[in-house]
Amino acid sequence: MQQKIIILDFGSQTTQLIGRRVRELDTFCEILPYNKFPKNDPDVIGVILSGSPYSVHDPEAFQCDLNEFVGKYPVLGICYGAQYISHSTGGKVERTESREYGRAHLKSVDNSNPLFVGFEQNSQVWMSHGDTITKIPEDCKVIASTEDVENAAYASSEKPLWAVQFHPEVFHSLQGKTLLKNFVVDICGSKQEWSAASYVETTVEELKKQVGNDRVILGLSGGVDSTVCAMLLKKAIGNQLTCIFVDHGMLRKNEFNNVMEAYSGLGLNVIGVDASEKFFKDLEGITDPEQKRKIIGRDFVEVFNAEAKKITDAKWLAQGTIYPDRIESLSITGMTIKSHHNVGGLPKEMHLQLCEPLQWLFKDEVRRVGYELGIPASLIERHPFPGPGLAVRILGDITPERVKILQDADDIYIETMKKWVCEDGEVLYNKVWQAGTVLLTTVRSVGVMGDERTYEHPVALRAVTSTDAMTADWAHLPYEFLAKVSNEIINKVKGVNRVCYDISSKPPATIEWE
């Protein structure tokens, strides 16, 4: 049995964050559409109702049948969840003057209630509501208020039911983690047994059952997700797994060989395909970023399929899809799962079934599972790298010569970053979310080298800090580091006579230039 908390998603932007927080309590959870509560699942130990962009009074507001779980499991309503419970069970929700956005402070906190054990009076919480709960259900009592809102938290005296108007899952609710721990561990009784080791153990068993003696194919990219996916499968089914790694010619310098070597060190059975000629030919003269992406995506599918077709006994296609990919595409009204950008469109006549062993993991959990499987840090801690590779970092059309220039510049930048130890003892590469170089082939500037005038292209360095690539800030790299990199690139890379550093945040810029 694997205990789980069900999080019913009413469409809030912070639903995923609730999931993250529950996992941080070493407890498994599933985020499901608001009206898809699993009625006969013996593993459920509690239910959380998320916030929503709607008001309970909106005609299109999401509704669920509370009778499916209220009174049967411990339930926690958050924001809209709290309002919905009140609205549906005899309380009242109204649009008043007391709407709150941002920081608020709790008062009259009832520390004798199990939800608020260890809470301080005046604890800062994060609010975001236009409507206010003006009356709570009959069997409930108020367990915390704020300056402006009387019913900031309430609990039933008869059933295991709690509701909070604020968002405990967000960073700015300073004791939010305490509240969620009180609910998940003390109220729901989680044994906190969800860990990377237990995930590996149960997933390997499941994969053995799912796949049996069949052959599985998997597209590797050198990135964390596909590597961890491959190693999980290898542990489960050994050499019934065949991996395919396509080189489109726009990877980092020596990356294809380095990654193939690393994979071979891990004992993976990998077919490496050098298809760079085809990609370069099809990209000739193309300057529009979206067109570049389309051509690369199409060529990738063609090359991958041609290789996959040779593996005639394959029955399964494995993909490194992770949980956030699924939640984003699990629209809360439908259940369509997006196809992976690397292998979309595999020919139907191959009749392959999909196998997605990472589908329950958040990114940092994938890394933890990776370490558990003995994958070296050099593969697990790699910066993200876009599927189309350096093609979207060469502004203008792509030629093998330009790729070579960019690879050389990029190699100096990244290798120096990997060796640079900061004042606090941490390696600079590990402090940065993602870094890369951009070749501005559409710009030329004048320089002087020795006695000669040069007229060449600039390279832009990009480095950002981020947690999820949705927003990012430019990394404040040390000047001494930038000076060293700039000097080396200009001295060693023929074709580049100027180096700039990109100091734009996302938004309004993006991480990639194209």
Question: Which stretches of the chain bind ligand XMP, using CB under 6 A?
Answer: 293, 341, 384, 386-388, 434, 469, 506, 510-512
- Shortest gap between Cβ of 470 and ligand XMP (angstroms)? 8
Please say which residue, 272 or 387, places its beta carbon nearer to ligand XMP.
387
Residue nearest ligand XMP (C-beta atom): 387
CB 289, min distance to ligand XMP, A: 9
Q: Is the peptide bond before 33 cis (omega within 30 degrees of 0)?
A: no
Taking the C-alpha atoms of residue 18 and residue 69, their distance in angstroms, rounded to an integer, is 19
Q: Does the annotation count 79 as an active-site position? A: yes
Nearer to ligand XMP, 182 or 342 (CB): 342
CB of 387: closest distance to ligand XMP in angstroms? 3
Q: How far is the CB of 386 from ligand XMP (least distance, A)?
A: 3
Residue among 390 and 496 whose Cβ is closer to ligand XMP: 390
Number of neighbouring beta carbons within 10 Å of residue 221:
17
Alpha carbon distance 232, 205 (integer Å): 10
| CA-closest candidate to residue 14, choices 147, 132, 140, 126 | 126
The CB-of-308 to ligand XMP minimum distance in angstroms stands at 20
Least distance in Å: CB of 264 to ligand XMP?
24
What span, in angstroms and rounded, lies between the C-alpha atoms of 466 and 116? Answer: 32
Q: Please, which residue, 148 or 512, has the CB nearer to ligand XMP?
A: 512
Q: Is there a binding annotation on residue 224?
A: yes
Q: Which CB, 46 or 388, lies closer to ligand XMP? A: 388
List CB contacts of 420: < 8 A, sequence separation 6 or more: 427, 428, 429, 478, 481
- How far apart are CB 362 and ligand XMP at their closest, in Å? 16
User: Could you confirm whether 422 is annotated as catalytic?
Assistant: no
Q: Are 24 and 39 in contact (CB under 8 A)?
A: no
- Our answer to whether residue 277 is catalytic in this structure is no
Closest CA to 133 of 62, 85, 181, 192: 85
30, 169, 255, 514: which is the annotated catalytic residue? 169
Catalytic residue among 64, 79, 188, 229: 79
Query: Cα 302 from chain centroid?
Result: 27
Q: Taking a C-beta distance cutoff of 8 angstroms, is the pair 77, 163 a contact?
A: yes
Helices then strands, each counted (H, E), the chain: 14, 20
Nearest residue (CB) to ligand XMP, 177 versus 293: 293
Pairing of strands 353-355, 140-146: unpaired
Q: Are strands 44-49 and 92-107 parallel, antiparallel or unpaired?
A: unpaired
Could you give the C-alpha distances from 37 to 27, 87, 93, 189, in angstroms and in order?
A: 18, 19, 24, 20
CB of residue 435 to ligand XMP, shortest distance in Å: 10
Find how far residue 92's CA is from the centre of its chain.
37
> CA 117, CA 113: separation in Å to the nearest integer?
7
Candidates 87, 167, 248, 340; catalytic one: 167
93 has binding-site annotation: no
Of residues 200 and 432, the one with the C-beta less far from ligand XMP: 432
For residue 192, the SS3 value is coil
Residue 238 is classified by DSSP as G
The DSSP 8-state label assigned to residue 136 in this structure reads: -
**Nearer to ligand XMP (CB atom), residue 34 or residue 279:** 279
204 in a labelled binding site:
no
Going by their DSSP bridges, the two strands 161-164 and 153-156 should be labelled as antiparallel
Instruction: Report residue 404: phi and psi, to 5°.
Output: -65, -45
Residue written as tokens 């005296």?
A: 157
Distance CA 194, CA 369 (A): 12
Dig out the tokens for 324 from the structure: 């956030």
Three-state secondary-structure class, residue 395: strand
> Which residues line the annotated binding site for ATP?
221-227
Hey, which residues are catalytic here? 79, 167, 169
Known binding positions: 221-227
